[in-house]
Amino acid sequence: MPAGMRVGVLTGGGDCPGLNAVLRAVTRKGISVHGHEILGFRSGWLGPVEGLTMPLSLDTVEEILDRGGTILGSSRTNPYKVDDGVARLKATLAEHRVDALVAIGGEDTLGVAEQLTHDGVPVVGVPKTIDNDLDATDYTFGFDTAVHIATEAIDRLRTTAESHHRALVVEVMGRHAGWIALHSGLAGGANVILVPEQPFSVEKVCEWVERRFERQYAPIIVVAEGAIPEGGKELLVTGERDAFGHVRLGGVGTWLADEIAKRTGKESRAVVLGHTQRGGTPTAYDRVLATRFGLHAVDAVAEGDFGKMVALRGTDIVRVPLSAATAKLKTVPLGRYAEAEVLFG
């Protein structure tokens, strides 16, 4: 590949702490080492479809390393679900003489990246999601920050729960994968952790809650938004689907707190952490991982190694086919859940 390419970059899907660190690394190494010009596209895939751009220079990426969110903005736009979306996207790339794209996103954004690769658009993917549910990488950035935020919340909720002798149910994000619940629950010493991978028995949860009260402690129950009671189904905020077919989950925490109160006679409260888990400054771990992903992604572009995603394997950054990135979700193995279960109650 010739030096001096024009490289487009975008951030898609739910935002996550560390996106700006990737943008900074792509821009700095792209310009100073590879002699590229970097063109940001705003609002995920909507940017190249609608021609929404933001040039990225050494100046624009100053002082963004520690900033949460994404200076480019994000969206859940799927160009394959928009009229003439792919043709419009290709026309924008041609108009701006963009030679290649770096797409930073989760399974949906990277799924589009993979389809576009088959449709002749040169793309390199960078994995992000607080959910840590991409199978082809050991970790995604954003996850560590989300776990820290949830753990701090659990620590704080414990002291107020104990003052009032209440059960506190903490609902965390995680539609199909319970990684945030598992890690924050373990780190925060939760008395029960409920994940989407393992339907839960409300009777059993109430037994654990009562056992905890008997020892004069207030129980903390961490529940992933996608956790399902045995014989029940996911609780939804709305059944409406986005462009990638996702419904909005939520409500299981409040439902469970009511069930606990009804069945045990103990006072219960629910706290939904929601988007606080995605906001604010990334942890040092996430800044480092995001930076390394950015540096390696721009190398892949310079080498013309398209249709790939950068991934973490152990401590190394490797490249895997985009198809592997989106082939299946990385869910919590039941053996890992069983490890934690020993500490319940």
Sign of the torsion formed by the C-alpha atoms of 86, 87, 89 and 93: positive
Nearer to ligand F6P, 206 or 228 (CB): 228
Output the smallest distance, CB 274 to ligand F6P, in A.
Answer: 8
Smallest gap, in angstroms, from Cβ of residue 245 to ligand F6P? 13
**Contact residues: ligand F6P, CB under 6 A:** 14, 106, 129-131, 173-175, 225, 249, 278
Q: What's the DSSP call for residue 204?
A: H
Strand, helix or coil for residue 318: strand
47 vs 142, beta carbon nearer ligand F6P: 142
Which residue number, 43 or 268, has a Cβ lying nearer to ligand F6P?
Answer: 43
CB of 136 to ligand F6P, least distance (A): 16
Using the minimum distance from each CB to ligand F6P, give the nearer residue, 130 or 300.
130
The helix-helix angle for 284-302 and 19-32 (nearest 10°) equals 40
Alpha carbon separation from 91 to 98, 168, 234, 307 (Å, rounded): 10, 53, 41, 20
Q: How far is the CB of 216 from ligand F6P (least distance, A)?
A: 35
Closest residue to ligand F6P, judged by C-beta, is: 173
Cα-Cα-Cα-Cα dihedral of 229, 235, 239, 243, to 10°? -90
Residue spans of alpha helices (H) in the chain: 19-32, 46-50, 85-95, 107-118, 143-164, 179-187, 202-214, 252-264, 284-302, 322-327, 334-341
Catalytic residue among 15, 108, 131, 299: 131
Instruction: Tell me how far CA of residue 309 lies from CA of 9, 268, 301, 312, in angstroms.
Output: 14, 44, 11, 10
Among this protein's residues, is 131 annotated catalytic?
A: yes
Least separation, in Å, of the C-beta of 331 and ligand F6P?
Answer: 13
Please report which residue ranges of 133-178 form alpha helices under DSSP H: 143-164
**E-only strand ranges, 212-273:** 220-224, 236-238, 248-249, 268-272
Active site residues: 131
